[in-house]
Amino acid sequence: MKTQIALLLGTLTTLTMTSHALAAGQINFTGEIVNAACDVKINSSTTNEVVLGKWPTSMFKTAGDKSTPQTFTINVDNCAAGSYQVNFAGATDATNPKLLKTSAATGVGIGIAKASNTSNLVNLNTPASTTDSNASFITTGTTGSLPLQAFYEATGAAVVAGKADATVSITLQVK
């Protein structure tokens, strides 16, 4: 009888402890399904290529020396009316993170700036929530454009020749 009572008490204790270990809760998932922001082209072309040209190393004597800028425009179509932010993501130069890293040439990077001034560099690899006035535009109806320029910029006195290509991904975000 004592054994049965002890066994019964042990079972009740286990059941009581087990019922305390159970809990209930909820998970809330949030989000939104949206239409694609816009169709994007560079200079109204499907190649999305900006040719910076060939430049001699002798042109880059000190940090900050620049090649002649090449203008280009990010054109958008089929957009909802509004203000947009362009975010740029790509490998940056080790010396100057405001410049894109070139494929083989060293001592030089690629700058992207607002069309009006080579000092107005766009921000690279910034969070989507960051606002960059150099990379913002407003659509008129369903179209819009962001005029920019790109150029090589020396990051030091020693520029070594080589291919100087870079790739940057862009994303559009409604502001």
Any domain includes 84: yes
Q: Edge-to-edge, what's the strand order for the sheet holding 100-101? A: 39-42, 70-77, 144-154, 108-114, 100-101
Helix (H) or strand (E) holding 94: none
Any domain includes 89: yes
Any domain includes 28: no
Any domain includes 24: no
Any domain includes 82: yes
Is the pLDDT assigned to residue 19 strictly greater than 80? Answer: no
Residue pair 65/154 in contact by the 8 Å Cβ criterion: yes
Please state the pTM of the whole predicted model.
Answer: 0.77
Residue 47, amino acid = T
Any domain includes 71: yes
Quote the domain boundaries for residue 132: 39-174
Q: What is the pLDDT of residue 90?
A: 95
87 C-beta neighbours (distance < 10 Å), count: 21
Q: What is the pLDDT of residue 5?
A: 45
pLDDT digits (tens, 9 = 90+) for 35-85: 666 888 999 887 899 999 999 999 999 999 999 999 999 999 988 888 889
Q: What is the pLDDT of residue 166?
A: 96
**CATH value at residue 74:** 2.60.40.1090
Domain count across the chain: 1
Cβ-Cβ contacts under 8 Å for 37 (sequence gap 6 or more): 76, 79, 80, 84, 172, 173, 174
pLDDT digits (tens, 9 = 90+) for 97-138: 999 999 999 999 999 999 999 899 999 998 777 788 889 988
Any domain includes 11: no
Q: What is the pLDDT of residue 141?
A: 84
Any domain includes 165: yes
